[in-house]
């Protein structure tokens, strides 16, 4: 695949009748990781949910050349978008194995993919019979990532995967995302600028429900004044704040 895997054109998103994303346009390359940046409450998560159809939306969303903005969420997922939500949303009363089995799309979870997930998350192999609700936050994040990596997706949407995690677990998440991005492009919402610096090739900055900057992530984060103006934080300080 070449060019862009996702094209978002004049996307507007509403929640309970209130418009939370005004007018967002950007593209996601068919390789690597694209970061979505911005201060808290500017519409980053709502943009992802708008792409998925979880929130009411207008505008155009094109996945691998196919318009998907008129499709319901389950059809969007079937077209090949995997989603890792900010709050992980594991099935607490099911085991790790049951969580993964439920996530498998028919014919998508090959033996090679299952083996890759086992290599990436050996802790989950040891805890396969443990109820997901009894796992730590970091372990639940691993389950959430493992679920999407089981399937043959065209694009992953990953929302705040390192939020609230211990440094050691953050390193494991970074490595998992790095390895995953070698086979599938990722649209990543992330507040930790060190994570963005290490993973992302491109960046989209949202402010007030609109895209205010697109371009190279490294160029953005190496420009102290631009980072301060767009994100309200020094590039070396680590995390975007409100």
Residue 84 inside a domain? The answer is yes
Between 238 and 30, the more confident residue is 30
Domain that holds residue 62: 4-231
Residues 235 and 222 sit within 8 Å (Cβ to Cβ): yes
Please tell me the total count of domains within the chain. 1
What integer is the mean pLDDT of 15-38?
A: 96
236 located within any domain? no
- Judge contact between 25 and 13, C-beta under 8 A: no
- In the sheet that 56-63 helps form, which strands lie side by side, from edge to edge? 66-67, 56-63, 4-15, 18-29, 210-216, 202-207, 33-37, 186-189, 155-159, 81-84
* Secondary structure letter of residue 239 according to DSSP: B
The rounded distance, in Å, linking the Cα atoms of 65 and 212 is: 25
Indicate whether 45 belongs to any domain.
yes
Q: Report if residue 239 sits inside a domain.
A: no
pLDDT of residue 1 exceeding 50:
no
Q: What are phi and psi of 186, to 5 degrees?
A: -130, 135
In a domain, 242, yes or no: no
Question: What is the predicted pLDDT for the residue at 238?
Answer: 62
Separation CA 70–CA 34 (nearest Å): 24
Q: What is the DSSP string of 138-196?
A: HHHHHHHHHHHHTS--SEEEEE-TTTT--HHHHHHHHHHHHHHTTTS-EEEE-SBHHHH
- Given this model, what pLDDT does residue 23 score? 94
Contact 206, 166 (CB under 8 A): no
> pLDDT, tens digit, for every residue of 97-140?
999 999 887 766 678 888 889 988 999 999 999 999 999 998 99
Q: Of 40-54, 99-113, 148-162, give the lowest mean pLDDT range.
A: 99-113
Do residues 150 and 103 make contact, with C-beta atoms less than 8 angstroms apart?
A: yes
Report the alpha-carbon distance of residue 142 to residue 169 in Å, rounded: 9
58 or 109, which is more confident: 58
**Dist CA 134 CA 175 (whole Å):** 24
Residue with tokens 């109820």: 131
98-112, 153-167, 172-186, 226-240: range with lowest mean pLDDT: 226-240
pLDDT tens per residue across span 186-218: 999 999 999 999 999 999 999 999 999 999 999
Q: What is the pLDDT of residue 221?
A: 95
pLDDT band for position 233 (cuts 50, 70, 90): confident
| Domain CATH code at residue 200 | 3.40.50.300
Q: Return d(Cα 30, Cα 3) in angstroms, integer.
A: 6
Total residues found in the chain within this entry: 242
Residue 144 lies inside a defined structural domain of this protein: yes
Give the pLDDT of residue 107. 64
Residue 129 lies in a domain: yes
Q: What is the pLDDT of residue 69?
A: 97
In this prediction, residue 120 carries a pLDDT of 87
Across the chain, mean pLDDT equals 92
Q: What is the pLDDT of residue 73?
A: 96
Q: How confident is the model at residue 14 (pLDDT cuts 50, 70, 90)?
A: very high
Q: How confident is the model at residue 58 (pLDDT cuts 50, 70, 90)?
A: very high
In-domain check, residue 240: no
């Amino acid at each position: 695949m070449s060019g862009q895997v996702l094209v978002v054109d004049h996307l507007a998103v509403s929640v309970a009748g209130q418009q939370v994303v005004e007018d967002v346009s950007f593209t996601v390359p068919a390789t690597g990781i694209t970061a979505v940046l911005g201060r808290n409450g500017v519409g980053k998560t709502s943009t992802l949910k708008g792409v998925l159809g979880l929130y009411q939306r207008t505008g155009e969303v094109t996945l691998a050349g196919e318009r998907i903005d008129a499709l319901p969420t389950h059809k969007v997922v079937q077209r090949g978008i995997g989603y890792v939500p900010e709050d992980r949303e594991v099935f607490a009363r099911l085991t790790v194995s049951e969580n993964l089995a439920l996530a498998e799309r028919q014919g998508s979870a090959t033996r090679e993919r299952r083996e890759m997930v086992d290599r990436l998350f050996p802790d989950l192999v040891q805890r396969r019979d443990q109820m997901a609700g009894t796992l730590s936050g970091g372990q639940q994040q691993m389950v959430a990532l493992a679920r999407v990596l089981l399937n043959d997706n065209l694009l992953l949407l990953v929302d705040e995967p390192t939020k609230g995690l211990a440094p050691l677990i953050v390193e494991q998440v970074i490595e998992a995302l790095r390895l995953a991005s070698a086979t599938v492009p990722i649209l990543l919402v992330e507040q930790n600028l060190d994570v963005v610096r290490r993973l992302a090739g491109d960046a989209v900055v949202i402010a007030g429900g609109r895209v205010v900057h697109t371009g190279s992530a490294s160029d953005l984060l190496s420009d102290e004044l631009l980072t301060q103006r767009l994100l309200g934080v020094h590039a070396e300080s680590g995390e975007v704040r409100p």
